[in-house]
Amino acid sequence: MLTFVGLGLYDPKDITLKGLEAVRTADVVYAEFYTSPTGARTIANLEATYGRRILPLEREDLEERAEDGILRQAKSKNVVLLSGGDAMIATTHVDLRLRAMDMGIKTRIVHASSISTAAAGLCGLQSYKFGKSATVSPPYGGVISSVPYDTVRDNRARGLHTLLYLDIGMRIAYALELLESVERERGEEVLKHSLMVGIARAGSDSPVVKADYMAELKRYDFGDPPHVLIVTGELHFMERDALRKIAKAPVIPAGR
């Protein structure tokens, strides 16, 4: 069997009891950290907390060499794959599960907390008012992807909030510079007048949650990653109240 175990948001203690049981009863335990920020997790502190040897995997081990590695082992052994957040957020894991099923390997999922749901709760926004999410990545070949910007624009046209994941290690200020570059090139003002929420180290004992407009957020010190960014849409009066009390938002004009 191949069991996918989510590690939750930030540190080794975020794993569920069911996940911990799966780790401690497995024949082999692997972990990968390229699909989700590591937070306060390292192989060493995972091993110390769970009392098991844990073998790190690279992207190629799951996408190119899985049939000769983790999947081959799972045909005859109880194998666990650890990953940050929820076990099935990454499309890489969905693909791996489907390949395991094609090989006749039983699969199991042990879910855990994810930033995709925790972000709304941390700042007081209503989760059902979020539209499509997107990831802000560094320029590739000198080209800045316009997908995150287009996603925000489309969501805001429908009054919806947007959760923007940031590439591993990326900081909010840099992400905002990339988004601003696209906006400047387009000659638009979607982001200029949008209230945003920056969140750092969700799941830790000292997360940072700050709401403001782009110019101010670019200067705000969020500390170490992982960071995520929310661009708000139309705000319910309770959301306005929450952003002021929880995220120290400035006065929010009506209709924003």
The answer to whether the 2-110 and 115-247 domains have the same CATH topology is no
Beta strands 107-110; 79-83: pairing state: unpaired
pLDDT digits (tens, 9 = 90+) for 142-156: 899 999 999 999 999
Give 99: exposed, middle or buried? Use CB within 10 Å, 0-12, 13-18, 19+: middle
pLDDT band at 256 (very low <50, low <70, confident <90, very high): low
78 φ/ψ sector (left φ>0, alpha ψ -120 to 50, else beta) = beta
Q: How confident is the model at residue 255 (pLDDT cuts 50, 70, 90)?
A: low
Helix axes 43-50, 17-25, angle to 10 degrees: 90
> What SS3 state is found at 50?
helix
φ and ψ at residue 22, rounded to 5 degrees: -65, -40
The arithmetic mean of pLDDT across residues 156-180, rounded, is: 96
Q: At 186, which helix (H) or strand (E)?
A: helix 172-186
Q: Which pair of structure tokens corresponds to residue 174?
A: 């840099």
- The whole-number average pLDDT for the span 209-226 is 95
Element housing 200 (H / E): strand 196-200
* CB-based contact 192:183 (threshold 8 Å): yes
**CATH 3.40.1010.10 fits domain 2-110:** yes
Instruction: Confirm or reject CATH 3.30.950.10 for domain 115-247, answering yes or no.
Output: yes
Residue pair 191/183 in contact by the 8 Å Cβ criterion: yes
Q: Which whole number is the average pLDDT over 65-76? A: 91
Between 33 and 137, whose confidence is greater? 137
Looking at every residue in the chain, the average pLDDT score rounds to 93
Mean pLDDT of 4-23: 95
In the predicted model, what is the mean pLDDT of residues 151-177? 96
**β-bridge partners, 85:** 8
Q: Which of 84-88, 195-199, 214-218 has the lowest mean pLDDT?
A: 84-88
- Residue 37's pLDDT is what? 67
Domain borders along the chain are 2-110, 115-247
| pLDDT tens, residue by residue, 84-116 | 999 888 888 999 999 999 999 999 999 999 999
pLDDT, residue 254, reads 61
